[in-house]
Each structure stands twice: as C-alpha cells, then as structure tokens.
Amino acid sequence: MEESIYTPSSTRGNGTSKYQLVMELGKGGMGIAHLAMSRGPQGFTKLLVLKIMRRELVAEADLRRMFLEEARISARLSHPNIVHVFEVDEHEGCPCIVMEYLEGQPLSSLLTRAPQRPPLALHLHILARALAGLHAAHELRDYDGTPLRLVHRDVSPHNVFVLFDGQVKVLDFGIAKAAGSEVETRTGTPKGKIRYMPPEQLLRDPLDRRADLFAVGVLLWEAVAGRRLWAEMEEGEVTRALLNRKIPALPDDPQIPAELRAISARALAPDPADRYPTAEAFQRDLDRYLSSQPVPCGPEEVGAYLREQFGDLRQATKKLIDYHIKSAQNGTGSTPVRTPTGPRRTTTNGFPAVPRVSGMTAMGAPATAGGLEGASGNEGGDAMTKAYPPPTIGALDPGMMTTETPTPLRAHAAAPHHWNRRLVVAGAIAGVLAFLLAGASFLRGGGSHGSEGRGGDRPASTAAVPLSPGAPVVCGPGFKPCGGECVSIERPDFGCGGESCQSCQVQNATARCNLHHQCDTAICYQSFDDCDGNSHNGCETDLRIDPDHCGACTRKCPQLPHAQRGCGDACTIWRCSAGYGDCNGVAEDGCEVSLYGADFNNCGHCGNVCVPGQHCRRGECVR
C-alpha cells in the first residue's frame, strides 16, 4: 500500500484531536514517526513524537499485539538514559506511542557524518551512559515485583542517541523481549543487526541481559580501534565467525591501554558466562578508567562537541521544523505570509536551504520535550516574520507583477497628443487608483501587525492586490496567486514556484524549495537515499531492502545460485528456488542443497537426516 507524504494541511482534522501532527520524521516496518504538538491552557504548546502504527497493519492481530507489546514495555521504562514514553494512545483509530522529542544526533552520525570523530574519552562516556540506561531496563520489574528480564536485542550506534546538551538516551525497544511475553516474532529469523549480535542470539538460544552487553562490547571495540569490528566482511563471513566463536581481538597497538583491552575482552567473550554479569558492572569499569584520565569528560564536553560538529545542521533543522509548525498552526490549511521588501531576492529565506542528509530524520531521531510559547522553537523570535518582513509600496512594482490571467497588467500608452480633456481625465483616474493601491497596502500591513499584537497566528497577507471587484489577483515579486491570495514561491506546501498550488510531493523525504524555486529534497528519511541522483523525486531507494542498493547506493548484491537476492542491512537470501535450501547458513553460495536430490543429510528440508539403510528420493527418506 503506497502512502502519501504527510502535509499539515491534509491531516489536521477537526481540531479536536489531542495531538496535532506537524511533520513526518521517518518510517519503520510497523510505524511512522511524526513530530506533533500537544496544546495546553494559555496557548502553551509542547513538542512530542508520535510513533503511529501503519494503518494497513492495524487489522492484523499479531502485528497489533507486537506494536502494543513495544508500547507496554516502553511505557514502563523511566530513566534519564532511556527515551521517555509519556503514554500509549490512539490517533485516528491507529495505536500510537507518545514519546519525548530529542534534539541531537544518533551515535552512528557522530561516527560517520561528523567532520571529526569523537575523542576516545568522550566516546567512552557515551557508552557508559548507555550502559546505565540498559541496566535500568534489565532491572525492570512488574507491578508485583516479578523481574521482567528485559533484553533490548538491538543495541547499535543507531539506537544510542546523543543530545545537544550532552545527555545520552537508549532508543527503540521495538524488538525488546520480556520474560513471559505472549508475543512472538512471526519468523524464526534472529532479530537485530548481525554485526552487533552475540553468538547465542544468532543460534536462537535463550537470551538474557548479557546479549546486550556483547553488543555494547562491539561498540567499545570500535571506539578503541577506530574502525568497525567486522570491517568489510560480508554477512555470511560474520555469521560463520560468530558460529565458530571467533571474535577478533583488538589490534596489537601499544597505544591501546591495557585496562580497555581487558574490558573489551570480557565484554566480547563468546560464552555469556565469561562476560560481565550486569551492565552496571560493565559501566563501573568504564567509569573507573575515565576517572583516571587527566582530562575530565562529562555532559558539558559531550554537548560542546556535538554543537561544534552539528551546529549548522541544528539551526537549519530548527528553521525547517519552525516552518512546519507555522503551517500546522494555521486553521485554514495555509499560512499567509508577508511580501519581502527591497530588491527582488534570489535566495530562499522562508524555507531553509537545508543540505540533504542521507539516512537521517528531520532531527536525527525523536528531541528534548520542552514547552514552547506559541510553538516557536527558534531562539530569535518569529522565523516567518524575519523571513517575510512587512511590505513597502515600492515592492509592488507594476512592471514585475504577475496575475492569474495570462494577460499582463500594463497601462495602454497614451497617444502623443497635447494636453486635452481626455488626458487630464486619464491622469486623474490613474492618480486615484495609485492612492487606493497605497491605502490598501498600508491598511493591510497595519492589520497584520494588529492581529499579531493580539496573539493571532494568522497574519494577513498584503501581497494580494485586487484592483477592482472581479479583477484577477496581482502578486508582487517572489509571490504567486493561490486561492485568492498571494503566497511565497519559497513555500513547498504550495508547490514552490510551479504553476500548481499543490504541495510538493517528494517520496520518503522532507520537501524544500531550491534556489530555482522548484520542489526539491531537503532531508531523506532514515534508511532512504537518493540513488538516482534526481532530487526532484525524493529519496526513492530503501537501503534496508533493495538488493541493488543494499546499505549504500553503490552496493549491489551479487546474483546467488538457486536463490533470489535480498537485503536486510546487508546482502542476504530473500528466498530459495523451489526444491533448494540454504542449509549451511551462508548467503554467498546461495541455496546450495537440492532438497529433492540424493543428499540424505538434508532430505526434503535442511537437517532432515535419513537413518542408515535409507536414501533420499523426492524429498523423502525411503529404503
């Protein structure tokens, strides 16, 4: 089922909803994350994130139970290092999880997108705080005191989030498993990312908290070594190494402290019994090492690093969100704007020209839940006011006006006669029209300020200038007529500078207007990218499932014998051809066994061994 890109004007409803959606942040397998506003008394507004279950999945009982299981677990977790869930609710008939809004970046972005990688001490501090959050989750108990024995099962750089104030949060308990849960995953495939998975999880053995500690051990190894644990190994090679319990040791580098080498070796022990017993014990060793370092590292240093590395993106994203908030606040489905003053501008001001960032949401992920007066999150006041200051009479240059009709408004040149009666009358009429035009502009400009002074969030537009009843709307430079008023050609919710007034539709991305006033891509949703190089059609490729662009636009999965290619963050087998099976668990050689051949060790299906004296014929063991 193809879903349309969300725009505030299309989902506002009748105004009775508890939450008002502002913009779409990203999509997952079961839910769609939206930035939303919760309105309170006296105009107080709070930014939140709503993870709403996909409408086409609501009717499937198993998936609905899985989604509500995530909600049930997440709502029970309360710790400074875990993303906070306020409540579980419904939005337009779909279950939703209401979470705090986090302003920052995932650890994966710090490692791959920051101009400078985080210093080792700062990196270790982030991991120590993540361990504190995991320990709180592992220790969670039911209302009667029964331990829930919760396991996250998907600890990775994508699910460790760093805020601009230096705080660290563990995200996404979507595949977490609690003891006694009635919800089972649909397939027998292990859940999580193989490159951060312990051997017992790959073998589908019973898991406990030590599986999460192995994943943090991988994060620690990568922080100390400065590269990925499994480097560029294919998924099949990683699987083989894990099954054989061959975990790479840290490089033989004398600069690696012995204390960190010992901590890493214990965390990555193939046997769970040899690992740290709890996340708290793991965290204690990391904190002890950090306390012995000459340079202190805490939230202040983490926040300063993040603001330095991502400050520009932070400001651009604030403007982007502020724009969507202003659009969502307008009850008519459009936000009137003001005409720019001075000479005609050639750069975009009303909508931030945010550099497109692949694999990121609008803020990197769900941001700090804070109250916003008037829902304006920018530090310098009304962003729309600064982008569109009040007009002047000179801005309405008749020579640069556009109309809804193809005929330009030009005064017919008068014949070169001497002063006569007709010329005097024409001059008088022209003077009256000019006076009325100036008066209308002045009154509308004053009305706009007056409405704002009364706290109104719908300032009147002064760009629309009807010369007489029934006459076409005339717009100043940088504006176009839409629905009887003039709107900026820098507004993606009105199609930028295109002839249509329909909102820009770019798939799997947030739209913007580029320097040519055309619909363009601002930011790709998480796990999507613009692999065809055409930014006008959005981010068309899902890097998680496309075997021709698996994990990156340039990575194409090879053809496999007797199998269809698949992608699950890495190249894998989608399905085997009829009569074949992947019995060795290695994706690179495809489905290597003919299940209806003479292989008595895999007769009919993998692992079905014929007893001595039997042979395999047509998938059955016979004598």
DSSP string, 323-357: HHHHHHH-TTSS---PPPPSSPP-S--SS--PPP-
Q: Which pLDDT does position 399 carry in this prediction?
A: 37
For residue range 491-548, list pLDDT tens digits in order. 888 899 998 898 888 888 888 888 888 888 877 776 788 888 887 788 888 887 888 9
Question: Contacts from 77-81 at CB under 8 Å and sequence distance 24+?
Answer: 77/136, 77/137, 77/140, 77/173, 78/136, 79/132, 79/133, 79/136, 79/137, 80/132, 80/133, 80/167, 81/129, 81/130, 81/132, 81/133, 81/136, 81/167, 81/168, 81/169, 81/170
Q: Which domains does the chain have, with CATH numbers?
A: 8-100 (3.30.200.20), 120-181+191-296 (1.10.510.10), 563-622 (no CATH)
* CA-angle at 49, arms to 46 and 51, nearest 5°: 150
**Locate tokens 């008088």: which residue?**
428
Q: Which pLDDT does position 452 carry in this prediction?
A: 38
Residue 433 binned pLDDT confidence (cut-offs 50, 70, 90): low
**Average pLDDT, stretch 266-278?**
95
Q: Which pLDDT does position 332 carry in this prediction?
A: 38
What CA–CA distances, in Å, run from 573 to 190, 576, 602, 603? Answer: 14, 7, 18, 21
Please say if the pLDDT value at position 46 is more than 90: no
Q: Which pLDDT does position 176 carry in this prediction?
A: 57
Please say if the pLDDT value at position 390 is more than 50: no
- Helices 120-138, 210-225: inter-axial angle, 10-degree rounding: 180
Q: Which pLDDT does position 542 carry in this prediction?
A: 85
> Which of the residues are catalytic?
154
Q: What is the DSSP string of 549-609?
A: SSSSTT--PPPBTTEEEEESSSEEEEEEPTTEE--S--STT-S-EETTTT-TTSSSSTT-P
Residue 586 binned pLDDT confidence (cut-offs 50, 70, 90): confident
**Locate tokens 């899985």: which residue?**
66
SS3 47: strand
What CA–CA distances, in Å, run from 192 to 70, 172, 529, 547, 573? Answer: 15, 11, 22, 19, 16
Highest mean pLDDT among 336-350, 414-428, 443-457, 544-558: 544-558
For residue range 236-259, list pLDDT tens digits in order. 888 889 988 999 999 999 999 999
The residue type found at 337 is V
Highest mean pLDDT among 105-119, 415-429, 448-462, 526-540: 105-119
Q: Which pLDDT does position 414 carry in this prediction?
A: 41
Residue 308 binned pLDDT confidence (cut-offs 50, 70, 90): very high
The secondary element (H helix, E strand) that includes residue 19 is strand 19-27
Closest to 337 in 3D by CA, of 469, 559, 485, 176: 485
Please say if the pLDDT value at position 297 is more than 60: yes
**Average pLDDT, stretch 314-332?**
75
Residue 2 binned pLDDT confidence (cut-offs 50, 70, 90): very low
Q: Which pLDDT does position 266 carry in this prediction?
A: 96
Q: Where are the alpha helices (DSSP H) in 28-77?
A: 61-76
Q: Which pLDDT does position 17 carry in this prediction?
A: 64
**Average pLDDT, stretch 407-436?**
49
**Average pLDDT, stretch 596-618?**
86
Q: Where are the alpha helices (DSSP H) in 87-197?
A: 107-112, 120-138
First and final C-alpha spacing in the chain: 50
Predicted TM-score (pTM) of the model is: 0.55
For residue range 222-240, list pLDDT tens digits in order. 999 999 999 878 888 888 8
Highest mean pLDDT among 4-8, 383-387, 526-530, 559-563: 559-563
Please say if the pLDDT value at position 367 is more than 80: no
Bridge partners of residue 38, in order along the sequence: 19, 46
Bridge partners of residue 622, in order along the sequence: 615
Residue 211 binned pLDDT confidence (cut-offs 50, 70, 90): very high
Please say if the pLDDT value at position 44 is more than 50: yes
DSSP code at position 364: S
Highest mean pLDDT among 360-364, 455-459, 559-563: 559-563
Question: Secondary structure of the chain: what % helix, strand, coil (to 5)?
Answer: 30, 20, 50
The residue ranking higher by pLDDT, 60 or 461, is: 60
Name the percent of the chain lying above pLDDT 70: 70
Task: State the chain's mean pLDDT as an integer.
Answer: 75
Lowest-pLDDT range, 77-81, 92-96, 170-174, 499-503?
A: 170-174
Residue 403 binned pLDDT confidence (cut-offs 50, 70, 90): very low
